Amino acid sequence: MKREDIKHIISILLLFSICITGVLGYIQSELELRKFIPHRYFAYTTLSLAAVHVTLNGGRIWRYLRRKLKKT
């Protein structure tokens, strides 16, 4: 599997995880559940996927920021 494929898979999983976390947060809020474990675990999963996503795309992000900072 190529690195580009892994980047796309991580991005898709991240979007899916964000959606599920939002839905579970809404359910937690509506049902006034104090300790709703699935919401917490999906939030941790989302943070982990975001960290992997930034790690894989760190060079691209750094080049973008450097280019924008040079213009100002």
Say whether 55 sits in a helix, a strand or coil: helix
pTM for this model (two decimals): 0.78
4-27 pLDDT tens trace: 899 999 999 999 999 999 999 999
23-65 pLDDT tens trace: 999 999 999 888 889 999 999 999 999 999 999 988 888 998 8
Q: Are 29 and 11 in contact (CB under 8 A)?
A: no
Q: Residue 9 belongs to what domain range?
A: 3-71
Domain count within the chain: 1
Token couple for 48: 């982990």
pLDDT value of residue 46 = 96
Q: How many CB atoms lie within 10 A of CB 42?
A: 20
Token couple for 1: 């599997």
Q: Is the dihedral of CA 40, 14, 56, 71 positive or negative?
A: negative
